[in-house]
Each structure stands twice: as structure tokens, then as C-alpha cells.
A = this chain, B = another copy of it.
Amino acid sequence: MDQPIDFRSDNVGAAAAEILKAITAANDGPASSYGADELTALVQQRYSALFEREVFVFAVPTGTAANATCLAVSTPPWGAIFCHASAHAHTSECGATEFFSQGAKFVPVDGVDGKIDPIALAEATVQAGRGDAHRSQPATLSVTQATEWGTVYSAPELDALTAIAREQSMLVHMDGARFAAAVATLGLSPAEASWRRGVNILSFGVTKNGGLLCDAIVVFQPDLARTLSFRLRRSGYGWSKMRFASAQLLAYIEDGLWLRLAQRANLLAKRLAEGLGQNGGRLAAPTEANEVFVQLPGEALAKLAHRNILVQPRGGGFVRFVCHFDLSDDDIGRCIDALADKAQTLSAG
């Protein structure tokens, strides 16, 4: 049987060699524990440089840890969080945000292509009953960038949403589990893609883009960072050997590694989307990051399985392909060929 090609998630992909090396290199004599070490101090500097302002960075084990903590910081227990109906924090984190926030409430808002519709958002906030003690109070807008449907909010699209949030005195959280993919697509600086768009606090994804055991929280509004050391400690996120997490965060952004990895994954996704389209696939949304959502013709799933190509079926006949930097050009080609039945032709030849 063919070697598997695994498109099920970016999480099935490799860790970048640079990050692995950095972990090993961090094992260099004693170091102060719980983040009082030099690498962790360096993280603050390097990320502040990357974001062109002082930021407060906290390593956390997972994207869920980042999201739930960010949202618990920005939302009181009686608060409401407006997000797209497909937002991962709402649909796929087993109530983590509700747990960490002591019961805040997601208000799902619709919108095509995984993007919150600004009119729907405005309406939802207006109908939220501000000041009415029966209602969870508007507190946070959470935007997912890149979105759960593989699209990327443009700068004006983000501005439209964050302006509504500001008007309603809401904070803005960005779930950037695939922030690198979005930045790579937008061609904006990280600053332009985040706080200059009105984002107050960011779940900064690493794992899905070549990382392994940590993601990060990046805080742009200093007062939101004030309580984080206590929150993270009591959440069980405070690694005593923090230097090994900080080493990952440093390697991830050194010499633009994070963007190179994301560009690579995005490129593969673009090519895959084209190939799928040419072989009967109907895209559910434009492919703007590293994910392709597609409706495939009749026998397609069987053909893929036959060639040991792993994908994630979604509801409604949709299939998700996620590209990660460590897939080869051949992997993409083999996948497209499988659908085009070229493989059989070849082997028959």
C-alpha cells in the first residue's frame, strides 16, 4: 500500500527541525524556574520587536489554553462573547471557555465563508440587552483568523468588526491558531494584522504550523496582562522549566521561520484547491490559508482511501484537507492524481 498522506489536520504534521533543535539547545546548565530564565525574558523582547510595540507574551500548552485564558481575561463570568457560529472555541473545546470564565456565554453570529457578518454582529450586540441583569452582557468579540473555513479576513473586514466592538465597549480577541497562515496571505506585518486592527489579545498559534508543545498568548493591552501570571499558574499552565517552551517560541519566529512555514503550507493548499477544482471538487469557500473545504464527486472518498490519502469528512458532504509545511509537492500531486484516476492509468501503463 502507498505511504499515507495525511491531510486530516495540521496537527498530524511534523515539528520544524529548528524548533526541535532549540529545545535541545536550551538544555544548557541550570536556569531559573517558572519563567525567570533568560530565554523567557528574550521572548518578551523578540515578540515586542516582532509586533512593533511592547507586548506581553505567555507560553501555554495548547490553543485551547490560549483561547480559554484570553476569553476569561476579557470577559466577566456574566459576559457574552460574540463569535462566528463555527468558532473553534465555541464548537470544539468541550466548554473550556465556559469553564475558565466561570460561565460566560458564546453568542454565535452567522456570516458566509466562516466570517462574522458585520451587520449580523451589530444586530446581535444591539439585541444583547446591555444593562439587563437577565442577560449575559456584551464583553468580547472573538474573531478567528484564519477562519474555520480556511478564509482570511481582510484588513477592512477586521476593521468593520472591531469598530462595532469598540462602539459597544467590547474587547477584541483573535483566535490566531492559524495566525501565521493569515499573515502570510495578507502580506501585512504582524502589527498590521493584529493590534493595529483593534485586537486587544491574541491566541498566537504555533503548534499547527510546525510547533509541538506550546502556543502563546500575546497581550497588547497592558492591564489585561496584569493578572495573567496568577491565572496561568492556577490553570496548571506554568511550566517550571519554562525555558523549554520559550525556546520554541523564539525559534518559531527567528529569521521568519513561522512565515516561511506558513507560506509553504498555504502554497500547497492553493495548488491542492486548484487541482481538486479541476477534478470535480466544489470549494465550500475560497482557499486563503492552508485549509481546503470541498465537496467531492461520488467516488472520490473511496479513491482517496484506496491511495491511503487521509482526509477529514465534515457534515454535508464536505471534506477538509489541511496542508502542513512538511507535505511534499509530490504529496499534492499524488492526491490530485488519485482523484483524476491517473494513478490507475499509470500503474496500468
Query: CA A9 – CA B213 in complex, angstroms?
Result: 23
**A230 cross-chain contacts in B, Cβ below 8 A:** 76, 78, 94, 133, 137
Query: CA A232 – CA B23 in complex, angstroms?
Result: 25
Query: CA A22 – CA B330 in complex, angstroms?
Result: 29
Please give the residue numbers on chain A whose beta carbons come within 8 Å of chain B beta carbons, in ascending order: 4-6, 8-9, 11-15, 17, 20, 23-24, 27, 29-34, 60-69, 76-78, 91-105, 127, 133-137, 207-208, 211-214, 227, 229-241, 244-245, 310, 315
- Give this chain's copy count: 4
Query: CA A91 – CA B65 in complex, angstroms?
Result: 24
**A61 cross-chain contacts in B, Cβ below 8 A:** 61, 213, 236-237, 239
In the complex, the chain B residue whose C-beta lies closest to that of A76 is B227
- Please determine whether B104 and A95 come into contact, CB atoms closer than 8 angstroms: yes
In the complex, the chain B residue whose C-beta lies closest to that of A231 is B78
- Please determine whether B98 and A240 come into contact, CB atoms closer than 8 angstroms: no
The minimal Cβ–Cβ distance linking A247 to chain B, given in whole angstroms, is 10
Q: Please pick, from B34, B78, B105, B212, the residue contacting A133 in the complex, using a CB distance under 8 A.
A: B34
Interface centre among A5, A20, A208, by most chain B C-beta atoms within 10 angstroms, is: A20
- Please determine whether B103 and A99 come into contact, CB atoms closer than 8 angstroms: yes
Given contact pairs A20-B23, A213-B244, a sample of 9 additional A-B residue pairs in the complex whose CB atoms are under 8 Å apart: A5-B30, A14-B27, A17-B27, A64-B233, A134-B233, A207-B241, A212-B244, A213-B214, A213-B239
Query: CA A252 – CA B247 in complex, angstroms?
Result: 21
- Please determine whether A77 and B64 come into contact, CB atoms closer than 8 angstroms: no
- Please determine whether B94 and A133 come into contact, CB atoms closer than 8 angstroms: yes
Q: Please pick, from B24, B133, B237, the residue contacting A233 in the complex, using a CB distance under 8 A.
A: B133
**A99 cross-chain contacts in B, Cβ below 8 A:** 77, 102-103, 234-235
